[in-house]
Structures are given as structure tokens and as C-alpha cells.
Amino acid sequence: MSAVELRGLNFRYAAALTDALAGVTFSVDAGEICWLYGAPGAGASTLLLAAAGLAPRFTGGTIEGDVRVLGDDPRTAEGRHRLRGQIAHLGAVPDLQLSGVAENVFEEIAFGPANLRWPLDRIDAAVREAAGRLEITHLLTRSPLHLSGGEKQRVVFASLLALGPPVWLLDEADSALDAEGRGIVAELMLAERNRGAAILVAAEDADAMLGVADRVVLLDRGVIAFEGNPRELLSHDLAWERGPGGTSIAGLGRAAHARSNAARFAPPYPLGVSEAAARWR
Amino acid sequence: MAVSASKRVLRFAGVRFRYPGTDAAALDGVTLDVGGGEGIGLFGPNGAGKTTLLRLAMGLIRGAAGTVELGDLEPGADPEDRARVAGYLFQQPEAQLFERTVERDVAFGPRCLGWNETEVAEATRKALEEVGLSRAAEEHPYNLSAPHRRLVALAAVLAPDPPLLLLDEPTAGLDRGSRAVVRDAVLRRRASGSAVLAVTHDGEFALEALDRGVILERGRITASATVAELLGRQGAPTPPPAALLTRQLGLTVAVPRFESVVSALVGSLPHPHTAH
């Protein structure tokens, strides 16, 4: 059994003329980072909401097909009950994910564990560990409502990390973070994967995802256009032709090839800086 | 409304500010000038005070010590007056989109400034065209993808063509195509004399669209230099791959922007017609 399984998934928003997702079938295993890549409107956010059981429940629209997370259907009340504390869905708008009832950041991070009725000493340890990993221990006594955008994003990340969820659904979840924060999130994803979590992550930054993703699913207007090795996708033109583009280095290669027609700039493109330096020296 | 390249549109001098109920100062003696046509990056770690500085300029928070001068306005000018001088792109586009169609959201600014309906319609059409979302004019903003929602918010800021653009992470979470839209809009507005002060963690955007930058740390400016010099320093964005490649290959480009790097790469080859 895969951690996340989608079969024949169709989704259409109310009053929309086309499907946001059309016949999407794939799965994410425990211990794997699967990257969802696509141009705006390709369906990545919708897919994550559906996998979290949030669409159509909070978005409206109609869904068809099968959704299973850890064997349960997050669209049903029974499934959600069994999955409580198991799925971390994190979007790009941290204000939507703050509890609104916590007086300080400590309580905010403790909100999930407390609702699962963990013993106090376990909550305390989990909060401190999560805060330490996001490097926000100095914020624990501050009000979550009076933090900067990037600090709030770190807090909501920590509040999910404290639960130790086996399934992560991340939607541009590091968009407000500074360079250091992005590095922390990349390390976290790798660490959580290595301890067996299944991570499905929608991200536009191909340069960052190249070093993190085990597998990529390219979405093009609700349909899977490619599924496989990120290096294979990013060293060719498909993702440029189907919307989102690719790494900055491949972009340089494409432009240089278009201008010079020189074979050294032709695909397969180098993907990282040192590969490009070796090939284009 | 363009201003001459030399004219100062925003000035902070010795600005200090502390949020009520907090111990540490959010801003602790910030001095910064922004002139017409300039593109300045405001860098710094999360919580350094970057957004606070923009909000003070817009009059959205008050009570700072020191000087905050926006255009020719009086220090206590209302946000409504400030809107004639500066457009503010919020960090979260959801904070500024509230109309039932994209078109109405973009038209809101010009309409509030008292433009006549012909001018409003023309400015709205142009701004939506500039961000490539003319086709979405009748959509509800919340029916769009997150990147396109941010571009709608940008169009709403561009529509009244203010002399100063204050942009809070304008490329966060955007795809490659949308980032190019933001970059081009910034360069176009700067070329016509508007100034841009942008909070960003995006090194590629900073390098392509801005010239100068400052690093803000714990409410103080700790460095001020060209964007190219600042990238990679503590608190500043990481240099984009094109800049790192330029360094590794020893390419001769003044600023490692995409087009210059491509030219340098292609130029390093024997010319196709002379090579035998």
C-alpha cells in the first residue's frame, strides 16, 4: 500500500468550464519525496487539497475517482477520524493555518498535539523540538499574530512538524522564507523522508527541487504529462513546452542554443552550476 | 505620472519603531533614500523589519520616531493621499483583493483616485494586459491560481501608475513565466521614471530588475551596495545559478544578468561563419 494513492481522479470547480484534474492516477510511497510541477492552473494545488480531504469539502466543486491516504479515504468522516494528526497540509498563506486561539507561539505549536490529547510532557518535548528545527525557539513567547510573514510560515511548519506526520502535502510552503529558512525546509523534507514520511510537494523552484525530489509528476492542465526522474525531465525541453520551464541553468542552455545552434548547448542540458561549468568551459 | 530620475520620492531618516507590547525595536535607526527610476532591493532575514518599513511608508502603521517622507506629502498624510504617490503590493495578495471580478479589483485604485470612467477603463485594460491576464478580467480573483492572484494584485498596484512601487516579495511562489512578467513590469516602470523598493528573497529577480540593495538585520541597515555585491551575504538572497556560473567560468560580464550571461556563453564560441 502506498502512503498516498490517487486513481482516476477528476475534479471540477463549481461553474468552471473545464476539469481542474482529469484522470489523474499516481501514488506516493513512504520514504519518498514526490515533486508536483506545473504552470499556474495546472492542478497541483487542487490535487493537494483533494489528497488532504479539503477539496471539495471547503472549496466546492465535484470530485470523482479514488483518494486513499494510508489506506483511508480523507473525504469521509470516518477516514478523517482515523487520519487525524497523520496528514500535514501546508499552503502558502500561513495566516489561514494559524489556530487564532493561541496566545503565544508555544501554544500555537502545541495546538495539534493538545487536541490529540497527548500528555503534557510529550507536548512540551515535541513543541521544543519542532521549534528548534525551524530555528524559532526565540519566538516561543511571542504572539503568533504579531510575527512577520516568514516567521508565521516557520511557525505553521513547526506546528505540523510537532505531530510527526507520516504524510506531508506541501504547496509552496516556503514561499515567504529567507534563504536560510529555505535551506532549513529542504533539510527537513530530506530528514522526514529518511525516517519514512511520504512527501508530496508542489513547488515552482526547479533549482531548489532538483536536489530534493526523488520523483517528479508534471501536470499540464489537469493531466499528468510526465512522471519519473526529475533529472530526465529537467535536462530536456518537455517541461518548457508544457508550461513551467525548468532549472535556471537549463534556461541558459536553451537560450544559448537558440542563439548559436552550437551542439554544446543542445539537450540534454546540464542542470547544476558545476555540470554547466564543466560542459560549457 | 513620471518623475525625473533625480527626484527623491521616499526618504527614511533615523526611523525607529517598536510594536506595542514587544521588547525589541522592529526598526532601529533606518536611513534610506529612494529616487525616481531607482530599483532598490530590501533584503534581510525573516523578522528583520522589512515589511514594517514598507507599511510605515504607506501610513498603514504610525508612531515611528524619525523622518518618513513620501513624495511632497505632509508627515501625517492619510493612506488615501499616499496612494497617489505610492502603490503597495502586500506580501499576501489575499490582503488586497476583495472585489467580485479581477477587473473591478484592478479598477479600484484609479477609481478611488477620482479618475473618470474612460481613464479607469483604459488604465485597467493596460494593467491587465501588462500582467498577461486580460482574459481573466471577468473571473473572481479567488478562482485563479495563487500565482495569477498575485499578478492581479500587481496589476491593481500598477493601474494608477504611481511614482513609487513598494513591492513585498513580488515573486514569492511564482512560476518562471509569472516571474518574468513581474521583472518586465518593474523594468518598464523604472524606465519611465517610477521608483521601486522591493522586499525580496529572490536573487534572480533582484539581479534582473533592481540595481542597488540594502540588508536589514534586527531593524538596522547593515550593508548597502549593488545587488550583485550583496547576493550571497548573510541575510541577502543567494546568488542565482547564472551568477555562480559566471564566476566559475570567469566570464566577463558587468552584471551577471541572464541576457549578458547568454551573450558571454555564445560569444565564447568560435563564430559559426568564421570557424573552419
Nearest to A148 among B51, B177, B203 (CB): B51
Q: Determine the pLDDT at residue B270.
A: 53
Kindly report the average pLDDT of chain B as a whole number: 93
Which residue reads 483533494 in cell numbers? Answer: A50
Contact yes or no for A148 and B46 at CB 8 A: yes
C-alpha distance from A16 to closest chain B C-alpha (Å): 9
Q: Are B214 and B43 in contact (CB under 8 A)?
A: yes
Q: Which of B58, B42, B40 is nearest to B50 (CA)?
A: B42
CA distance B29 to B48: 13
Identify the bridge partners of residue A32 per DSSP, sorted by sequence position. Answer: A198
Q: Determine the pLDDT at residue B156.
A: 98
Q: Which of A207, A182, A274 is nearest to B179 (CA)?
A: A207
Which residue reads 523552484 in cell numbers? Answer: A205
> Would you give the distance in Å from CA A168 to the centre of its chain?
7
Non-local CB neighbours of B156 within 8 Å, separated by 6+ positions: B96, B97, B105, B106, B108, B109, B127
Q: Are A21 and A50 in contact (CB under 8 A)?
A: yes
Identify the bridge partners of residue A67 per DSSP, sorted by sequence position. Answer: A6
CA distance B35 to B183: 19
With a threshold of 0.90, tell me whether the complex ipTM lies above it. yes
Question: pLDDT tier at B3 (50, 70, 90 boundaries)?
Answer: very low
Task: State pTM to two decimals.
Answer: 0.94
Is the per-residue pLDDT at B60 higher than 60? yes
User: What's the DSSP call for residue B276?
Assistant: -
Cα separations in angstroms, B50 against A211, B27, B113: 29, 9, 27
Q: Determine the pLDDT at residue A111.
A: 97
Section B59-78 average pLDDT: 92
- For residue range B185-242, what is the model confidence (pLDDT) as tens digits? 999 999 999 999 999 999 999 999 999 999 999 999 999 999 999 999 999 999 999 9
User: What's the DSSP call for residue B94?
Assistant: G
Is the per-residue pLDDT at B274 higher than 50? no
Q: Determine the pLDDT at residue A16.
A: 86
Contact yes or no for A178 and B235 at CB 8 A: yes
Which of the two residues, B274 and B68, has the higher pLDDT score? Answer: B68
Count Cα atoms within 13 angstroms, Cβ side, for B216.
Answer: 28
Contact yes or no for B46 and A273 at CB 8 A: no
Identify the bridge partners of residue A167 per DSSP, sorted by sequence position. Answer: A87, A198
Chain B environment of A245 (Cβ under 8 Å): 175-177
Is the per-residue pLDDT at B4 higher than 50? no
Retrieve residue A154's grid coordinates. 516557520
> Would you give the distance in Å from CA B15 to the centre of its chain?
21
Section B152-164 average pLDDT: 98
Nearest to A40 among B143, B178, B241 (CB): B178
- Provide, rounded to the nearest whole percent, the portion of chain B with pLDDT above 70: 95
Q: Indicate which of A145, A171, A260, A275 best probes the interface with B, i.e. most B CBs within 10 Å of its own CB.
A: A260
| Residues B127-160: b if buried by 16+ CB within 10 A, e if exposed | bbebbbbbebbebebeebbbbbbbbbbbbbbbbb
Question: pLDDT tier at B80 (50, 70, 90 boundaries)?
Answer: confident
Non-local CB neighbours of B195 within 8 Å, separated by 6+ positions: B3, B9, B10, B34, B35, B36, B37, B38, B39, B40, B163, B164, B165
Is the per-residue pLDDT at B5 higher than 70? no
Q: Are B156 and B105 in contact (CB under 8 A)?
A: yes
Give the residue from chain A lying closest to B44, CA to CA. Answer: A178
Contact yes or no for A45 and B146 at CB 8 A: yes
| Residues A239-267: b if buried by 16+ CB within 10 A, e if exposed | bbebbbbbbbbbbbbbbbbeebebeebee
Chain A environment of B172 (Cβ under 8 Å): 92, 172, 175-176
Chain A environment of B50 (Cβ under 8 Å): 148
Q: Which of A217, A275, A205 is nearest to A247 (CA)?
A: A205
User: What's the DSSP call for residue B24?
Assistant: S
Chain A environment of B94 (Cβ under 8 Å): 93
Q: Determine the pLDDT at residue A266.
A: 96
